Structure 1
Amino acid sequence: MSNDLKVNMNEYLPLRDVVFNTLRQAILKGELAPGERLMEIQLAERLGVSRTPIREAIRKLELEGLVLMVPRKGAEVAKISEKSLRDVLEVRRSLEELAIELACQRMNREAVDELEKKQEEFKNAVENGNAMEIAETDEAYHDVIYKGTCNDRLVQMINNLREQMYRYRLEYIKDEDKRQILLLEHDNILKAVRQRKVQEAKEAMREHIDNQEITVSKNIKEQE
C-alpha cells in the first residue's frame, strides 16, 4: 500500500463516502495496485478510521467492479482483464455513437462553444502531462457531448458506466505516446460536430473508442 494514501476529510460528506472516495481514487491512480489485498485492519489504521466505513467502501467498490472478493482470501483490487475491457467498451462504443449522433443534431451554438472550451482545457492538460488532469479534462469533454444529446435516459446509462470507463480512460492516458493521437481524435469529433456531419462524427467517435481498446489491451498483455 502506498505511503501517500491519505483520507481527505470533507465536512459535507458522511465518513463512509469520504473513505470510499479515498480508496476509489487510490485504485484509479494505481496507489492500490491490481491484485493488491485490501486488509480492513491495515486500511483502517492507515486512514485513521474504524473498520465499518472501510467495509462499506469495499462493498461499494465491489459493485463498481473495482474490487474483487476472492474465496478464502478476502477483498483485492480487481485486475483489468481483456474481457472486462471488451465488455465495457462494447457498451460504451454503442452509447457514445448514439450520443454523438444526437449531439450533432441537437447541440446549440453555446454547447458547441463549450465543447471547444473543454477541448482547449484538454489540450492544456496534455501539454502539462499530468495523467489525472488529462483524464478529468477528457471526461469533461465527453460530458458536454452527453449533455448535448438532451436525452436524460442516455446520460443516466452512460453515468452508470462512468466509474469503469474512468479506469480504462486513465490506463489509456498513461501511455504518453498516445496523447497526441487522443488530441487529434478530439479535434476530429469537434470538427464534425461543428459542421453537423453526423456520419463523420460517429466514425471519429468509433475510432476514438477502438484505439482505446487496442492500446489498453496491448498494455494488459504486456503486464501479464
Structure 2
Amino acid sequence: MSGHLEQIRLDSYKPLRELVCEHIREAIINGVFAPGERLMEIQMADEMGVSRTPVREAIRKLEMEGFVVMIPRRGTYVSNMSIKDINDVYEIRISLDTLAAGLAAERISDEELEELQRLLVKVGNAIEENDMAKVVEADIEFHDVLYKASRNERLRNIINNLREQITVIRGVSMRYPGRLKDTQEEHRRLVESIAARDVEKSQEAARIHLENAERTLMAAMSERKGGEELHNSLAAKQ
C-alpha cells in the first residue's frame, strides 16, 4: 500500500468512526490511494493513530458508498470502476440532473440564487489559484444548492447517491486540460438560465454540463489506460 494517512485529530465533536471514514474517503478522492490498490487495516490504523475497530467500521461504510470493494479471503481494494459502470451512472444522472435543473428554475428562492452566484465566484477563484481541493469543495456546494432548490428531497437523495459512486474518479476529469474553465462556463450558463426562470434552457444547460463531464472523463481514462499499457509493455521488454 503506497498511500500515507496523517494522524487523526481527536479534538472534533464527531464520533471517531466518522472521522476515520472521512479521512480515508478524502484520501481515496484525492488519489492518495489509487483505484485497485489494496487497503491494509493495520497500516492505516497505525498511520492514523487509532485502533483497527473504527477502521473496520469505516471500510464497511465506504463499501456501501462504492468507494471500496471487499473480496473474501483477499482483502479490501479501492474501487476501480469500469467504463460500463461510469456510463450507467451518467446515463441516469443526466436525466435526474436535467429534471432537478428544471424544477430549480421554477422553485428556487432569491437567497439560493444569490448563493449559486456566490459559489460561481468561489469556484472561479479556486481555479485561478489552481487549488483543486477548493474547486471540488465549491463544486459540491454548488450542486447541493441546485438540488436543494428543486424542492424534491427524494430526487436530491438519489442524485447524491449516484454522485458518490463516481466521486473516487471524478478528479481524473477535473484535472483534464481545459476542463475546469469549461465547467465554470457551463455553471455560469446554468445559473443564468435558472435566474431567468427558463425551464427548458436550464434543463439543456444541465444536460450539456453532464454530457461534457462524462465525455471528458472517458477521454482522460482512455489516455490513462493507454499510458499504463505502454508502461507495462516497456517494462515487460526490460
TM-score, length of structure 1 as denominator length: 0.92
Alignment of 1:28-47 (within 5 A): 28-47=29-48
Aligned to 1:94: 95
Aligned to 1:172: 173
- Per the TM alignment, residue 74 of structure 1 is displaced from its structure 2 partner at its CA by 0.8
RMSD of Structure 2 on Structure 1 (CA): 1.7
Letter in 1 for 2:90: L
- Secondary structure of the equivalent of 1:79? coil
CA distance in 2, matches of 1:216, 1:180: 15
Aligned to 1:220: 221
My pick for the range that moved more, 141-150 or 164-173, is: 164-173
**Is the contact made by 2:5 and 2:48 (CA closer than 8 Å) also made in structure 1?**
no
Aligned to 1:145: 146
Alignment of 1:4-19 (within 5 A): 5-19=6-20
- Secondary structure of the equivalent of 1:214? helix
Letter in 1 for 2:193: A
Aligned to 1:134: 135
CA distance in 1, matches of 2:36, 2:202: 38
- Per the TM alignment, residue 40 of structure 1 is displaced from its structure 2 partner at its CA by 1.3
CA distance in 1, matches of 2:120, 2:104: 16
Letter in 1 for 2:63: E
CA distance in 2, matches of 1:220, 1:179: 17
CA distance in 1, matches of 2:8, 2:49: 8
- Per the TM alignment, residue 162 of structure 1 is displaced from its structure 2 partner at its CA by 3.8
**Is the contact made by 1:6 and 1:22 (CA closer than 8 Å) also made in structure 2?**
no
CA distance in 2, matches of 1:15, 1:110: 35
- Secondary structure of the equivalent of 1:69? strand
- Per the TM alignment, residue 170 of structure 1 is displaced from its structure 2 partner at its CA by 2.6
- Per the TM alignment, residue 173 of structure 1 is displaced from its structure 2 partner at its CA by 1.3
Aligned to 1:84: 85
Superimposed CA distance per residue, residues 32-55 of structure 1 (whole angstroms, 9 cap, x where no aligned partner):
111111111111111121111111
Letter in 2 for 1:13: K
My pick for the range that moved more, 45-54 or 150-159, is: 150-159
CA distance change for structure 1 residues 9 and 176 in 2, over 3 Å: closer, same or farther?
farther
**Is the contact made by 1:193 and 1:201 (CA closer than 8 Å) also made in structure 2?**
yes
- Per the TM alignment, residue 5 of structure 1 is displaced from its structure 2 partner at its CA by 3.5
Q: Does 1:206 align with 2:211?
A: no
**Is the contact made by 2:5 and 2:27 (CA closer than 8 Å) also made in structure 1?**
no
**Is the contact made by 1:81 and 1:220 (CA closer than 8 Å) also made in structure 2?**
no
CA distance change for structure 1 residues 167 and 40 in 2, over 3 Å: closer, same or farther?
closer
Unaligned runs of 5+ in 2: 226-238
CA distance in 2, matches of 1:141, 1:203: 18
Unaligned runs of 5+ in 1: none
My pick for the range that moved more, 79-88 or 185-194, is: 79-88
- Per the TM alignment, residue 72 of structure 1 is displaced from its structure 2 partner at its CA by 3.4
Aligned to 1:104: 105
Letter in 2 for 1:82: I
TM-score, length of structure 2 as denominator length: 0.87
**Is the contact made by 1:101 and 1:198 (CA closer than 8 Å) also made in structure 2?**
yes
Aligned to 2:64: 63
Superimposed CA distance per residue, residues 95-133 of structure 1 (whole angstroms, 9 cap, x where no aligned partner):
111110001111132222221111111111111111121
Q: Does 1:22 align with 2:35?
A: no
Aligned to 2:184: 183
Taking only the aligned residue pairs, the percentage that are identical comes to 41
- Secondary structure of the equivalent of 1:204? helix
Superimposed CA distance per residue, residues 75-104 of structure 1 (whole angstroms, 9 cap, x where no aligned partner):
011113212211221222121111100011
